[in-house]
Amino acid sequence: MIAWTIYITFAGALLLLFLPQVFARWIALLTTIAGLALGLAAFFCTPIPDLAHFTTIVRVPWISALRIDYHLALDGVSLTMVLVTGISAVSTVLFSWDVEHRQNEFFFWLLLVVAGCYGVFLSANLFLFFVFYELVIVPKYFLIAIFGSKNKEYGAMKLTLYSFFGGMFVFIGILVAYMTAGSLDLNQLAQFQFPRQLQLWAFPVLFLGFAVLAGIWPLHTWAPTGHAAAPTAGSMLLAGIVMKLGSYAGLRVAMNLFPQGFQLWSKWIAVLAVIGIVYAAAVALRQSDLKFVIGYSSVSHMGFVLLGLSTANLLGVSGAVLQMFSHGVIAALLFAVAGRMIYRRTRTRDLDALAGMNLSHALPFAAFTFVIASAASIGIPGFSGFAAEITILIGAWKTYPLAVGITGAGMVLVAAFTLRALKQSFFGEAGSGLGRIQEGRAALGPDWNEEQSITVAEKIGACLLMFATLAVGVYPKLLLDRIMPAVETMRFLKSGG
């Protein structure tokens, strides 16, 4: 059933190539809603015990020359990721409602990214996994290079080359695993005892390859550039889902296949993760471009995911998965506000310029959304960010107490740059009185009219994301109940003792 998320999305993408432009956004919306509905149905209908193991959904022979099967499977971790993909995809389409230029093509590439992400999260064959993994990247190039804003060609090329640079290492790791174990089936590989000597070098090759996409320091520089250059939908997808592909793959493939290699290298991952959290937050504090601020905040938040993974204990890894979900939603929300609600109306993302506009009066809904998003991003209790990060930190406390201390300082920086961005962009000058409303609108330009206020599509998209972060923040058990059993059965925990 859930396999249809992939097929429907591909079919929608194909349909877009043949139908006239008037249908484009509706097809995209219906396709993504169908994907989300399937994800939700699976989420609530699959009995929780079934989600503890990577259970096969579809398995048919595919390439006989190499004995490769078309094999999809599902467990709690992948279901969580499918769900966040669905949520982000729907809101992304809603936030791209106004794309006028080459509309069919835009939604075609967008749906390809989404379909590829579904594919990655569901595949249980390493070859299939890698096909989807690489498939995601090229549409991103087109999305950014054609539809992006400032510096788009540079950003697109940088992102693509970085991603494929990582892909090169992943390719080697996959080939080595395949040749040693003689199988590409993830469940079989997860049982196979790889020689220790091999694990020691194959693990970092594979994990680093994946971590490039997750924005690990110091290979993160593509992320802010790419996020800033991308169109709103592009940054939402990129930060929301595509970066998660890297961390999900690190968990599902690298850590699960090479547990001994992981044990040896986990402390180095933790070091890189902590540097990433603090460094990116510090850099974000000095950015003047709002999208760059959010771009660096993504790197910082992904650092939490990597830190959680590196703990190798149940709480830390589950927290990491929860953080993937939470950041997927929050990053999408932040980019939606910055790229769509602000930039499209003011034509600027410069924080100093925005400070003079006092947008909170002109765009009250945008201000409200940004406040919620910032609160979630900082990790205020009640939002998903808090639930995820606290779980990660508790997990990390057992393994790396020092890291928790440094990360705590990093969280202060996160709060600092988020509040700075919030204040500069929406609450630029302290003031009161009704006159402010007129002033704010005047700043938006002489052609201001009511049409420029937040549209219904935008409101629905924002509400969807805000609801997701609140629901998980208030009741994280909803996800954790499904994530933790799945994490518990993974191999690196057992051998970790």
Partner 1 sequence: MSYLELLKLASPEAIVVITALAVLTIGLTTGREAASATVSTAGPTRNAGSSSSTRSAALCSFVAALGLVIAIGAVLMLPRNATLFGGMLVITPLTSLFKIICIALVFFTLLLTTSEKSLLHPGEYLAIVLLATVGLMLLVGSEELLMIFIGLELLGLSLYVMAAFDKNDVRSAEAGLKYFLFGSTSSAFTLFGISLIYGMSGTTGLAAISAKLATASVQPLLAVGVVMTLVGFSFKIAAAPFHLWAPDAYQGAPVPSAAFIASGSKVASFVVLGKIVLVGFAPVHGSAAWHGMVAGWSPVLAVLAAFSILLGNLVALAQSNVRRLLAYSAVAHGGYTLIGLVAGGRDGFSAALFYTTTYAITLVGAFGVVGFVRRDTGGDDLSNFSGLYSRSPLMAGSMAIFMLSLAGIPPLAGFFGKFYLFSSALRASPGHGLLWLVALALLGSFISLYYYLMVIKFIFVDKRAEPEIDHRLPITDHVLQKSAISLIAAAVLLLGVMPDILAAQILAAIP
Q: Which stretches of the chain bind partner 1, using CB under 8 A? A: 62-66, 127, 130-132, 134-135, 137-138, 141-142, 145-146, 153, 157, 160-161, 164-165, 167-168, 171-172, 175-176, 178-179
* Alpha carbon separation from 167 to 161, 183, 270, 487 (Å, rounded): 9, 20, 22, 25
Q: Shortest Cβ distance from residue 358 to partner 1 (Å)?
A: 37
Q: Shortest Cβ distance from residue 154 to partner 1 (Å)?
A: 11
Which C-beta is closer to partner 1: that of 143 or that of 284? Answer: 143
Cα–Cα distance for residue pair 263/90, rounded to 1 Å: 38
Which C-beta is closer to partner 1: that of 168 or that of 412? Answer: 168
Other Cβ atoms less than 10 A from the Cβ of 368: the count is: 16
Q: Shortest Cβ distance from residue 209 to partner 1 (Å)?
A: 11
Contacts of 230 (CB under 8 A, 6+ apart): 140, 143, 144, 148, 149, 152, 155, 156, 238
Q: Shortest Cβ distance from residue 169 to partner 1 (Å)?
A: 8
Q: Are 160 and 138 in contact (CB under 8 A)?
A: yes
Cα–Cα distance for residue pair 336/96, rounded to 1 Å: 10
Q: Shortest Cβ distance from residue 170 to partner 1 (Å)?
A: 10
Which C-beta is closer to partner 1: that of 161 or that of 412? Answer: 161
Cα–Cα distance for residue pair 326/345, rounded to 1 Å: 28
Q: Shortest Cβ distance from residue 321 to partner 1 (Å)?
A: 26
Q: Shortest Cβ distance from residue 102 to partner 1 (Å)?
A: 9
Q: What is the tally of helices (H) and strands (E) in the chain?
A: 26, 2
Which C-beta is closer to partner 1: that of 45 or that of 179? Answer: 179
Which C-beta is closer to partner 1: that of 65 or that of 456? Answer: 65
Tokens for 347, please give them.
């034509």
Q: Is 477 left (phi over 0), alpha (psi -120 to 50) or beta?
A: alpha
Contacts of 268 (CB under 8 A, 6+ apart): none
Which 3 state secondary structure label does DSSP give 432? coil
Q: Shortest Cβ distance from residue 3 to partner 1 (Å)?
A: 16
Which 3 state secondary structure label does DSSP give 72? strand
Q: Are 303 and 247 in contact (CB under 8 A)?
A: no
Tokens for 32, please give them.
């993504």
Which C-beta is closer to partner 1: that of 112 or that of 341? Answer: 112
Which C-beta is closer to partner 1: that of 26 or that of 201? Answer: 201
Which C-beta is closer to partner 1: that of 142 or that of 296? Answer: 142
Q: Shortest Cβ distance from residue 71 to partner 1 (Å)?
A: 15
Which C-beta is closer to partner 1: that of 112 or that of 255? Answer: 112
Q: Shortest Cβ distance from residue 222 to partner 1 (Å)?
A: 14
Q: Are 225 and 159 in contact (CB under 8 A)?
A: yes
Cα–Cα distance for residue pair 378/284, rounded to 1 Å: 13
Q: Are 341 and 366 in contact (CB under 8 A)?
A: yes
CA neighbours closer than 13 Å in the CB half-sphere of residue 455: 15
Nearest by Cα to 194 from 255, 258, 241, 139? 258
Which C-beta is closer to partner 1: that of 146 or that of 460? Answer: 146
Burial (Cβ within 10 Å: 0-12, 13-18, ≥19) of residue 240: buried
Give Rg (Cα) of the chain: 22
Which C-beta is closer to partner 1: that of 208 or that of 324? Answer: 208
Q: Which amino acid is at 6?
A: I
